[in-house]
Amino acid sequence: MTSVYMDQISWVEYQQRVNDGTVVFLPCGATEQHGPHLPLGTDALLSTAISADVAGRLGGIVAPALAYGYKSQPKCGGGQHFCGTTSLDGGTLTALVQDAVREFARHGVKRLVLVLGHYENQWFVAEGIQLALRELGPSCDLRVMRLEHWDFCQETTLTDIFPDGFPGFALEHAAVIETSLMLHYHPNLVSLERIPNDPPADFPPYDIYPSRTEWVPPSGVLSSAKGSDAEKGRRLASDIVGGIASAVATEFGLES
Ligand code: ZN
Ligand code: MN
């Protein structure tokens, strides 16, 4: 196998591997602020790196990531008021996913996994998959799995990493999980010395439009990233990659 990355192999090799029944992984990220210490591409970088590890275990292929996502929301991504955050309307993301799924079906792909790294994407991605399958009709034998990678973190790992209590995945934006995973996969893109001292965000149980930007810490980090390290990242990655590989193997009848 020359590469797990679709954009690094020829169409001829891609076709061969699709004909052999390979699983294709489509990472779905965002271009979104992740505080002063992480890059704007964090969500796509992590979903791509995780997809590549899983694909390496299962003989799969990783398609180029969808690098733009649905609009950043104040309570889980900081919101749309940050410079650099570059988002799609929900209908655009849905159409993008629908087009991509239809193309993979045309290639003959039978097993497709959408690996989401951006919280706000989930129902627009689900809609794109469902519209594509409806359009392809009941004779199409493409099967699609959709997942958010953080859901594979094990309870014991979260308890060890957050001895004072886990703040929840929504507030984990640019915090310990994403920062530790970036230290594991892309340490040269993390500026640990720039982790801010903001207290965790405290949101009311409702939203207001236009957004109350004053609810969001000015750094864009929703709970502290202090305590992030590469070892935590390695443990989280091991949970996530192992969990996704076994779910894909089970659902799609492969050996992992
Ligand atoms: Zn993120
Ligand atoms: Mn995000």
Which CATH number is 189's domain given? Answer: 3.40.50.10310
Residue 205 lies in a domain: yes
Residues written for the chain: 256
- Cβ–Cβ < 8 Å for 221, 196: yes
Residue 163 lies in a domain: yes
Residue 87 lies in a domain: yes
pLDDT < 70 stretches in the chain: 1, 256
Residue 1 lies in a domain: no
- What is the Å distance from ligand 2's center to 123 Cα? 14
Per the structure, the complete domain to which residue 235 belongs is given by 6-251
43 is catalytic: yes
Task: Name the catalytic one among 37, 118, 149, 184.
Answer: 118
- What is the Å distance from ligand 2's center to 28 Cα? 10
Render pLDDT for 100-129 as a digit per residue (tens, 0 to 9). Answer: 999 999 999 999 999 999 999 999 999 999
From residue 57, alpha-carbon distances to 2, 176, 254, 255 in Å are 14, 26, 11, 9
- Cβ–Cβ < 8 Å for 50, 240: yes
> Of 108, 95, 99, which is closest to residue 11 (Cα–Cα)?
108
- What is the Å distance from ligand 1's center to 140 Cα? 34
What is the token pair recorded at 185?
Answer: 């996969």
Task: Name the catalytic one among 7, 13, 20, 34.
Answer: 34
Q: What is the number of structural domains in the chain?
A: 1
Residue 256 lies in a domain: no
